[in-house]
Amino acid sequence: MIRRVALALLCPLAVSWLSEAAIDTEFLERPWPNQWVHELEVGRHPVRWRQRASRRDGIFAGVRFDVPLERQTVWGLANDYQDIGQLTPGVTAVRYLEQSETRQVIAVDVKVLWKELTLTFEVERDPPRAVRFRLVNEVLGEYRGLCVFDESPGPEAGGRSDATRVELATWLLPSRPVPMRLLLLVERMVLLTGVREFLESCEARAAPLAR
């Protein structure tokens, strides 16, 4: 899910800028001022959607849902980058510039129309609880995200001890004026598509365990 959301939003970009500073996502964990929250269904699963858009502060978007698998398994599924090229249109190669248990720098070669671009983004991992990612780009602006895996699910999980709550929040601050509502609509489509595909993968993994 994380890989699909990040790459779908990054594919129109040019070469990225890297920073050695830690990825700050604390502002994504707090309630956003004037945020809009909506409960919906993705497939058969309840999902909480929240959003906020401001020309000054950028676009905030987030999803929260429960998965019928224990946290370590969900962590592994969410952080598997091996099929990026197969699943994401336009991706021609994926290279790890840095790889450790807690940090990754991933370069992705993409082809958009006649242009070949390289996207480089940073991922910080706190296994098996949190993933933070960042891309700073002179064309797009700045994009950050936080995904948290909580082994203490709420009522939506039916009290299952082997369920995991997943909450993904993203922030995008464009580098130039853009139609904010249209950009928010695109991000909503990308996030919910990623959630649906991720839930389908989790259901496929959970099916043999239920027998």
66: confidence class by pLDDT, cuts 50, 70, 90:
very high
- When divided into structural domains, the chain yields a total of 1
DSSP 8-state assignment for residue 23: -
- Non-local (6+) Cβ contacts of 158 within 8 A are none
- Tally the residues of the chain: 211
Q: Per residue in 70-128, pLDDT tens? A: 999 999 988 876 555 444 666 788 888 999 989 989 887 877 667 777 777 899 999 99
Angle between helix axes 2-10 and 180-210 (nearest 10 degrees) is: 150
Examine residue 128 and say whether the peptide bond preceding it is cis (omega within 30 degrees of 0).
yes
Structure-token match 């720098």, residue found: 105
Domain ranges, residue 69: 2-210
Residues 6+ apart with CB under 8 A from 42: 65, 192, 195, 196, 199
Here the CATH number for the domain that contains residue 153 is: 3.30.530.20
Render pLDDT for 120-163 as a digit per residue (tens, 0 to 9). Answer: 789 999 999 999 999 887 777 888 999 999 986 655 555 556 89
pLDDT recorded at residue 82: 57
